[in-house]
Amino acid sequence: MKQNFAIVGLGRFGGSICRTLIESGQEVLAIDNNEDRVNEYMNIATHAVVANAQDEMTLRSLGIRNFDHVIVAIGEDIQASILVTLMVKEMGVPSVVAKAQNSYHARVLEKIGADRVVHPERDMGIRIAHNLVSKNILDYLELSDDFSLVEIRVANPKFFNKSLLELNFRQRFGLTVVAIRRSNGEVVVSPDANEFVRENDNLLVIGETDDVDVLDEKMN
């Protein structure tokens, strides 16, 4: 279904959201107060305008309240990010995603009603660090304080050529395998208990972070 998006701030973060949305066929209004940035997106976004989003009248005249999603991708200027998030929420936009610079900023954005607060530098840092400390964890996504989704390489021969049932995966580790990525690139989504785990497979598992750590140790 086609939805419409407005992005405030066309830095690296807002810019990459804009390109990806357009590639997936969505309509995007791109807003930035920097004319050069707007020129860069003139032929990419559905519409691109030079505007100061901190000005309420400007936001109203752009019809911001009619958008399904607004992404507040303002970088350094925390005050502007907070003010714009507050205004678009007050105008009744149902889905507001805001980028936080630090954890205090994130808390304020959550308090004033941002539907989703993202912290790209911190989140990417966590993902990279987990990948660096474990030789088998290929990707790591923190879902909450306690839960994670990880992609882990099947490195221990004890796991080779056994079904998930034989491995007693859920009971033994308390984790759910949501997909198996085979070495030939094939992905088995939502594998059933009879699916076999093979050497060089990657497992996408979801569960409590403590349980993920136990599985990671068992892979060595």
Which residue type is seen at 31? Answer: I
The identity of residue 69, as a single letter, is H
If the CB atoms of residues 50 and 143 are measured against ligand ADP, the closer one turns out to be 50
Tell me which stretch binds ligand ADP (CB under 6 A): 47-55, 109-117, 122-130, 134-142.
47-55
| 33 touches ligand ADP (CB under 6 A) | yes
Which residue number, 73 or 154, has a Cβ lying nearer to ligand ADP?
73
Token code pair at residue 29: 């209004």
Q: How many CB atoms lie under 10 A from the CB of residue 120?
A: 13
Is 37 one of the binding residues for ligand ADP (CB under 6 A)? yes
If one asks whether residue 31 binds ligand ADP (CB under 6 A), the answer comes out as yes
Nearer to ligand ADP, 119 or 170 (CB): 119
- Alpha carbon distance 105, 28 (integer Å): 26
Out of 3, 20, 34, 190, the residue judged to bind ligand ADP by CB under 6 A: 34
Closest CA to 37 of 46, 25, 50: 50
CB nearer to ligand ADP: give 94 or 120: 120
Nearer to ligand ADP, 13 or 173 (CB): 13
Q: Binding of ligand ADP at residue 62 (CB under 6 A)?
A: no
Pairwise CA distance, residues 195 & 197, whole Å = 7
How far apart CA 168 and CA 180 sit, in angstroms, is 16
When binding is defined by CB under 6 A, the residue of 27, 40, 77, 139 that contacts ligand ADP is 77
Interaction residues for ligand ADP, span 79-138 (CB under 6 A) = 80
By the 8 A CB rule, do 85 and 91 touch?
no
C-alpha angle 26/32/36, rounded to 5°?
105
Work out whether 52 is an interface residue with ligand ADP (CB under 6 A): yes
Distance of CA 136 to the CA centre of its chain: 22
Judged by CB under 6 A, does residue 32 bind ligand ADP?
A: yes
CB-nearer residue toward ligand ADP: 52 or 190: 52
Q: What is the DSSP code (8-state) at residue 169?
A: H
Token readout for 93 is 């936009």
Residues that bind ligand ADP (CB under 6 A): 8-14, 31-34, 37, 52-54, 73-77, 80
